[in-house]
Amino acid sequence: MTGDPDLLSGEFGALRRQGRFVLLSSPRGPSTFDFHDLCNAPSFTIVGAHEMSHPAHRTPEHPWTRTEHYRLFFDYLLDGRIGTAPLLSDCVPYRDAPAVYSKLLANRSRHMGVALSWI
């Protein structure tokens, strides 16, 4: 998972033959990618995993709709299998939101998630 397009090719080194590469991030800008060596020859599958890519209706080929993913996430959250604390890098007073947004626009790689405190 990276927003740096120059790092994408190197990430394929972790895959086994016929492995699946799931792109969770939004790399910005062009990248150099050798489809023969990095995809075709080892028979990799590349999956874009943006939230908007979920099918509207469940099918045998694509059983995971947005609703199923939401349900799974909240089930895991409620039973303690996952937590949200590791997803937050910052909690700031809401009055600091404009400054935080400026920092995120300049370099969002320094922040995992930002929560605004209304207290």
pLDDT tens, residue by residue, 61-78: 888 888 898 899 999 999
Beta-carbon neighbour count of residue 38 at 10 Å?
19
| pLDDT band at residue 41 under the 50/70/90 scheme | confident
Q: Quick one: pLDDT at residue 118?
A: 92
Give the start-to-end residue ranges of the domains of the chain: 1-52
- Measured CA to CA, the distance from residue 23 to residue 9 in angstroms comes to 12
